[in-house]
């Protein structure tokens, strides 16, 4: 008999990918140099809004090393379409959202600083850049608008000339029962209201975007290497909607990718430009963004203004929420931009609470700024910020603890249908809160506050009980809400003749460690060592199909697809085993890598079965095909609902306004955890970005000129090691009820829950000094100023 193999799922297996990265042998897009390589440089608009009167590129075309120069005219002459938006929102009036074109090189007008105007291709990067500087563009400057509130004012500059866009509004959208909400407010014992800004962020993956395209004349095909989170979607959008190429003639490879956080989900104009140009000039064309280009042209995140109100009864029970949000979409619609402040935002406004009535209205607005799209959390941090700031304000208003107000309102019975469309399958919010309270040593807070006060410092504590909808997404639900694609995932499990396994997944790892986590899922099920499983991702030429990685979907949808493919593998292998064991299939069971006739010691190993599948000499060829290679498309039946409670403690120096995050505790329920080490790492990273948003990160456009004033690391701060404390983490596990792994996803939680926890703590510290209002980021100057004016 076989001893049970050690469990692989749930253990901190060291990452299979690490040695490659640690020894400098990762291969990122810019590391790839193709035969006959050329280099592209983009000339970008220095103006936020201007008409292009003329472009004179004669000098550039004859500059040393220059291979080609292309402008919007060349693009138009070749009938290259603009990049499409993947999600159509329907307006409150039942009309589709407005969709102005998003050309890959500006056509007649530029609409934000950084809008690409021309592309120069040369033998070297330096030559391309030198030549780009010689292009003379005659601009007629136009007034610009960068803030959503100004963009909605009468007489504001108009971003798009279309008749139906004179108000700069892409759509007005709503969710929830307005009448029920109004009624609840009219009878409420207490009402709290807040005006909140959710600060605009620039994602800042440390690897800048890059793309390198090659046209292969003999078979009229293209290969694009690109730093992207979903190569199949990139290929689909580019070939079908923009360039009109047959999909099977385009291979998109997304090799090692140096972080994404949402910013590499999209089909960007530069990706299309290099692909189109590779054929036009017959050379491989590589573009690698400089950091300043990343700041200007990567899709930004957040940028909401929200007025929100909460109605409560005498006991602090939430009766209703009313929310109005104005969301900045930037100058053009990025791939998923339109669903972020709607489908991924308003549907989350119930949070962890049994609030009976919720109504949310969203105005989405064009401005002369970079496109805004999903950034880690994508809509859900904004929703959590609204709910959790309101919940804490409510606690202060009626004089109960931040934990108590939450406990009184927690949803405790599942499944739970929220008033904003989602149905939560499972959770245990009270347990997360209790664990967090203990781990954060909340009992000692008052003592610590006294100690801080004795040093002249203010101490505050802040809670956030967040929920997110992950595992995007049931395709039929997404489709009904406007998605123009399905949101299933694909897994192929290829058992090799000698029993090792190669997994092909449509998920993409850009730091998440799929090569290890997915291998664990396979190793556990098939009873083999993790080293016998390799995971392949990021190549449309190798992976059947995929929808990519974002929205904390990889393990719950991509992993589930692999699990489903393994079901098929085990199913077929059991038949083969039954044949080899001369037993009935019903009598054969599979465990620990062995197929055994129940109640006997007669068994055959998985390796023997796979060999038989590929060398089918003794094989039921009349009933089964040879081989052991299965593919599954998994379409989830519901979203997953990770949730947890975060507690932040800050210490503030009132003399300078400096906020120090002294303690941060996070208790998360991610359902089943495959690799706790990797999950912890994901939480750490999310928390860092969430704390960054709350305290140091902000994007500033000059309101008059539309110039990006935070266009480099000299002016845009991202957290360094000394900005952060060591976090205390723990987990609760209520396995997801509707996917085969019980997983929920963990990539975004930290970024979703942290900002409100930090800001609640900051305001808790400041309220004894009379401060009631403070926007993110809580920079020293802002805190100091709030203290002066309180």
Partner 1 sequence: MYRFEYAQASSIQDATAQAGEDVAYLGGGQSLLGAMRLRLAAPEKLVDIGRIADLRGIKNSGDTLNIGAMTTHAAVAADETVRSQIPALADLARGIGDRQVRNVGTIGGSIANNDPAADYPAGVLGLGATIVTDQRRIRADDFFTGMYETALKPGELILQLSFPVPESAAYIKFKQEASRYALVGVFVARFDDGVRVAVTGAGPAVFRCEPLEQALSGDFSADAARKVTVSPDDLSSDIHAAADYRAHLIPVLASRAVAKAA
Partner 2 sequence: MDLSLSINGDSVTVDVPPNTTLAQLIRDELHMTGTHVGCDTTQCGACTVLLDGEAVKACNLLALQCADRDVTTIEGLKGENGGMHPVQEAFKDLHGLQCGFCTPGMVMSIVDLCNRVPDANEQQIREQLDGNYCRCTGYQNIVRAVQQAQQNLRT
Of 716 and 727, which CB lies nearer to partner 1 in the complex structure? 716
- Whether 208 and 291 have beta carbons less than 8 Å apart is answered as yes
- Phi, psi angle pair for 464, to nearest 5°: -150, 120
Integer CA distances (angstroms), 788 to 411, 655, 763, 778, 779, in order: 40, 10, 15, 15, 14
Neighbouring C-beta atoms of residue 227, cutoff 10 Å: 28
Of 21 and 713, which CB lies nearer to partner 1 in the complex structure? 713
DSSP characters for 82-148? Answer: PPPPSBPPBPTTSPBPP-----SS--SEE-STT-EEEEEEESSHHHHHHHHHH-EEEEEE-----SH
Q: Which does 25 bind (CB under 5 to 8 A by kind): partner 1, partner 2, none?
A: partner 2
Q: Which does 655 bind (CB under 5 to 8 A by kind): partner 2, partner 1, none?
A: partner 1
Of 247 and 781, which CB lies nearer to partner 1 in the complex structure? 781
Find the part of the chain contacting partner 2 (CB under 8 A) among 435-443, 444-452, 511-519, 654-662. 511-519
3-state secondary structure of 724: coil
d(CA 198, CA 25): 39
Residue 217 CB, shortest distance to partner 2, in Å, is 26
Q: Which does 781 bind (CB under 5 to 8 A by kind): partner 2, partner 1, none?
A: partner 1
User: Can residue 716 be called a binding residue for partner 1 (CB under 8 A)?
Assistant: yes
∠ CA 660-662-666, nearest 5°, is 120
User: Can residue 707 be called a binding residue for partner 1 (CB under 8 A)?
Assistant: no
Find the part of the chain contacting partner 2 (CB under 8 A) among 411-419, 489-497, 567-575, 722-730. 722-730
User: Can residue 21 be called a binding residue for partner 1 (CB under 8 A)?
Assistant: no
Tokens of 377: 């959390």
User: Can residue 586 be called a binding residue for partner 2 (CB under 8 A)?
Assistant: no
Residue 701 CB, shortest distance to partner 1, in Å, is 10
Handedness of CA 197, 729, 433, 733 (dihedral sign): positive
Give the x-and-dash track for 231-260 against partner 2 (CB under 8 A): -------------------------xxxx-
DSSP characters for 140-169? Answer: EE-----SHHHHTSTTPPPSS--GGGTT-E
User: Can residue 781 be called a binding residue for partner 1 (CB under 8 A)?
Assistant: yes
d(CA 118, CA 331): 18
Residue 388 CB, shortest distance to partner 1, in Å, is 25
Q: Which does 709 bind (CB under 5 to 8 A by kind): partner 2, partner 1, none?
A: partner 1
For partner 1 (CB under 8 A), the number of binding residues is 19
User: Can residue 113 be called a binding residue for partner 2 (CB under 8 A)?
Assistant: no
Of 751 and 786, which CB lies nearer to partner 2 in the complex structure? 751
Residue 715 CB, shortest distance to partner 1, in Å, is 5
Find the part of the chain contacting partner 1 (CB under 8 A) among 97-105, 367-375, 669-677, 706-714. 706-714
d(CA 266, CA 228): 7
Of 37 and 710, which CB lies nearer to partner 1 in the complex structure? 710
Query: Contact with partner 2 (CB under 8 A): which of 86, 100, 157, 208?
Result: 208
* Residue (of 715, 713, 703) closest to 368 by Cα position: 703
Find the part of the chain contacting partner 2 (CB under 8 A) among 267-275, 285-293, 625-633, 650-658. 285-293
User: Can residue 220 be called a binding residue for partner 1 (CB under 8 A)?
Assistant: no
d(CA 194, CA 773): 8
- Whether 451 and 681 have beta carbons less than 8 Å apart is answered as no
For partner 2 (CB under 8 A), the number of binding residues is 59
User: Can residue 35 be called a binding residue for partner 2 (CB under 8 A)?
Assistant: no
d(CA 149, CA 309): 19
d(CA 722, CA 713): 16
727-756 binders of partner 2 (CB under 8 A): 727, 750
User: Can residue 23 be called a binding residue for partner 2 (CB under 8 A)?
Assistant: yes
User: Can residue 715 be called a binding residue for partner 1 (CB under 8 A)?
Assistant: yes
Q: Which does 785 bind (CB under 5 to 8 A by kind): partner 1, partner 2, none?
A: partner 1
Query: Contact with partner 1 (CB under 8 A): which of 217, 480, 586, 714?
Result: 714
Tokens of 201: 């962020």
User: Angle, nearest 10°, between helix axes 380-398 and 749-767?
Assistant: 30
Find the part of the chain contacting partner 2 (CB under 8 A) among 25-33, 439-447, 548-556, 639-647. 25-33
DSSP type of residue 241: I
E strand residue ranges, 297-370: 304-312, 318-330, 357-366
d(CA 82, CA 590): 52
Query: Contact with partner 2 (CB under 8 A): which of 195, 713, 768, 772?
Result: 713
User: Can residue 656 be called a binding residue for partner 1 (CB under 8 A)?
Assistant: yes
595-634 binders of partner 1 (CB under 8 A): none
Q: Find where tokens 């904390």 sit.
A: 552
- Sort residue 456 into left (φ over 0), alpha (ψ -120 to 50) or beta: left
Find the part of the chain contacting partner 2 (CB under 8 A) among 47-55, 218-226, 290-298, 313-321. 290-298
- Whether 598 and 462 have beta carbons less than 8 Å apart is answered as no
Integer CA distances (angstroms), 738 to 424, 425, 526, 571, 639, in order: 11, 8, 22, 21, 9
Tokens of 634: 């998994």
User: Can residue 710 be called a binding residue for partner 1 (CB under 8 A)?
Assistant: yes
Query: Contact with partner 1 (CB under 8 A): which of 475, 616, 785, 790?
Result: 785
Find the part of the chain contacting partner 1 (CB under 8 A) among 556-564, 596-604, 605-613, 781-789. 781-789
Find the part of the chain contacting partner 1 (CB under 8 A) among 499-507, 559-567, 582-590, 708-716. 708-716
Neighbouring C-beta atoms of residue 174, cutoff 10 Å: 15
User: Can residue 713 be called a binding residue for partner 1 (CB under 8 A)?
Assistant: yes
Query: Contact with partner 2 (CB under 8 A): which of 10, 20, 84, 401?
Result: 20
Residue 254 CB, shortest distance to partner 2, in Å, is 12
Find the part of the chain contacting partner 1 (CB under 8 A) among 267-275, 402-410, 594-602, 773-781. 773-781
Integer CA distances (angstroms), 63 to 37, 132, 148, in order: 18, 9, 42
310-349 binders of partner 2 (CB under 8 A): none
Residue 684 CB, shortest distance to partner 2, in Å, is 3
Find the part of the chain contacting partner 1 (CB under 8 A) among 238-246, 405-413, 420-428, 712-720. 712-720
Q: Find where tokens 């990797």 sit.
A: 678
Residue 292 CB, shortest distance to partner 1, in Å, is 8
Of 324 and 785, which CB lies nearer to partner 1 in the complex structure? 785
249 contacts: CB under 8 Å, gap ≥ 6: 219, 220, 221, 222, 239
Q: Which does 716 bind (CB under 5 to 8 A by kind): partner 2, partner 1, none?
A: partner 1
Residue 289 CB, shortest distance to partner 1, in Å, is 15
* Residue (of 204, 199, 208, 248) closest to 228 by Cα position: 208
Find the part of the chain contacting partner 2 (CB under 8 A) among 24-32, 59-67, 160-168, 763-771. 24-32
d(CA 8, CA 559): 15
720-739 binders of partner 1 (CB under 8 A): 723
- Whether 235 and 540 have beta carbons less than 8 Å apart is answered as yes
Tokens of 482: 């406007």
* 3-state secondary structure string across 453-467: HHCCCEEEEEEEEEE
Judged by the rule CB under 8 A, the positions of this chain that interact with partner 1 are 130, 292, 655-656, 696, 700, 709-710, 713-717, 723, 779-781, 784-785
Judged by the rule CB under 8 A, the positions of this chain that interact with partner 2 are 12, 14-15, 17-28, 30-31, 33, 126, 204-208, 256-259, 261, 290-292, 510-513, 677-678, 680-681, 683-689, 712-714, 718-722, 724, 726-727, 750
């Amino acid at each position: 008999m076989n001893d049970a193999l050690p469990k692989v799922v749930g253990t901190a297996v060291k990452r299979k990918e690490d040695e490659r990265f640690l020894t400098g042998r990762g291969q990122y897009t810019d590391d790839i140099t193709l035969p006959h390589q050329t280099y592209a440089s983009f000339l970008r608009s220095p103006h936020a809004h201007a008409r292009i009167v003329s472009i004179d590129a004669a000098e550039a075309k004859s500059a040393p090393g220059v291979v080609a120069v292309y402008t919007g005219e060349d693009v138009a002459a070749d009938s290259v379409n603009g990049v499409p938006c993947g999600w159509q929102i329907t307006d409150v009036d039942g009309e589709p959202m407005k969709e102005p074109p998003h050309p890959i090189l500006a056509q007649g007008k530029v609409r934000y600083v950084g809008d690409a105007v021309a592309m120069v291709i040369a033998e070297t990067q330096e030559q391309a850049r030198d030549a780009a500087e010689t292009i003379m563009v005659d601009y007629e400057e136009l007034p610009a608008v960068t803030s959503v509130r100004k963009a909605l004012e009468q007489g504001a500059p108009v971003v798009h000339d279309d008749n139906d866009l004179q108000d700069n509004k892409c759509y007005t959208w709503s969710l929830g029962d307005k009448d029920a909400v109004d009624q609840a407010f009219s009878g409420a014992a207490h009402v709290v209201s807040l005006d909140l800004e959710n600060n605009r962020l620039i994602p800042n993956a440390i690897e800048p975007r890059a793309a390198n395209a090659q046209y292969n004349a003999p078979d009229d095909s293209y290969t694009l290497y690109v730093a992207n989170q979903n190569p199949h979607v990139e290929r689909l959008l580019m070939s079908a909607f923009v360039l009109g190429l047959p999909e099977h003639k385009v291979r998109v490879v997304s090799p090692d990718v140096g972080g994404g956080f949402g910013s590499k989900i999209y089909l960007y104009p530069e990706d299309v430009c290099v692909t189109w140009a590779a054929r036009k000039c017959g050379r491989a064309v590589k573009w690698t963004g400089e950091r300043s280009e990343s700041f200007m042209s990567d899709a930004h995140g957040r940028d909401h203004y929200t007025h929100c109100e909460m109605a409560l009864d005498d006991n602090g029970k939430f009766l209703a929420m009313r929310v109005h949000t104005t969301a900045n979409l930037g100058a053009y619609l990025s791939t998923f931009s339109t669903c972020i402040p709607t489908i991924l935002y308003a549907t989350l406004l119930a949070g962890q609470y049994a609030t009976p009535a919720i109504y949310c209205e969203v105005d989405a607005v064009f401005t002369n700024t970079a496109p805004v799209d999903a950034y880690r959390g994508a809509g859900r941090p904004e929703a959590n910020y609204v709910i959790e700031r309101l919940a804490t304000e409510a606690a202060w208003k009626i004089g109960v603890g931040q934990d108590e107000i939450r406990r009184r309102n927690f949803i405790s019975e599942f499944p739970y249908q929220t008033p904003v469309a989602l149905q939560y399958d499972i959770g245990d919010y009270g347990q997360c809160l209790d664990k967090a309270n203990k781990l954060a040593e909340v009992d000692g807070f008052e003592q610590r506050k006294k100690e801080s006060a004795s040093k002249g410092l203010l101490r505050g504590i802040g809670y956030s009980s967040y929920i997110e909808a992950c595992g995007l997404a049931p395709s039929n639900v997404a489709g009904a809400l406007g998605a123009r694609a399905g949101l299933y995932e694909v897994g192929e499990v290829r058992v090799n003749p000698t029993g090792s396994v190669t997994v092909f997944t449509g998920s993409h790892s850009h730091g998440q460690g799929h090569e290890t986590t997915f291998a664990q899922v396979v190793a556990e099920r098939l009873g083999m060592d993790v080293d016998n499983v390799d995971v392949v991702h990021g190549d449309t030429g190798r992976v059947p199909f995929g929808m990519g990685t974002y929205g904390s979907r990889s393990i719950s949808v991509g992993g589930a697809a692999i699990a489903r493919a393994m079901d098929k593998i085990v199913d077929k292998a059991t038949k083969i085993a039954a044949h080899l064991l001369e037993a009935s299939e019903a009598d054969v069971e599979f465990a620990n890598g062995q197929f055994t006739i129940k109640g006997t010691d007669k068994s055959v190993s998985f390796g023997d079965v796979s060999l038989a599948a590929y060398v089918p000499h003794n094989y039921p060829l009349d009933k089964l095909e040879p081989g052991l290679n299965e593919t599954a498309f998994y379409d989830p039946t519901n979203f997953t609902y990770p949730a947890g409670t975060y507690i932040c403690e800050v210490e503030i120096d009132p003399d300078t306004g400096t906020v120090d995050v002294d303690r941060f505790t996070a208790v998360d329920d991610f359902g089943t955890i495959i690799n706790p080490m990797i999950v912890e790492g994901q939480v750490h990273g999310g928390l860092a970005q969430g704390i960054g948003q709350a305290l140091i990160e902000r994007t500033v456009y000059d309101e008059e000129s539309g110039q990006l004033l935070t266009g480099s690391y000299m002016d845009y701060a991202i957290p360094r090691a000394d900005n952060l404390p060591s976090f205390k983490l723990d987990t609760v596990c209520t396995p997801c009820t509707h996917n085969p792994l019980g997983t929920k996803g963990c990539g975004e939680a930290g970024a979703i829950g942290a900002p409100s926890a930090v800001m609640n703590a900051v305001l808790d510290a400041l309220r004894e000094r009379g401060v009631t209002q403070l926007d993110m980021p809580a920079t020293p100057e802002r805190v100091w100023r709030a203290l002066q004016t309180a």
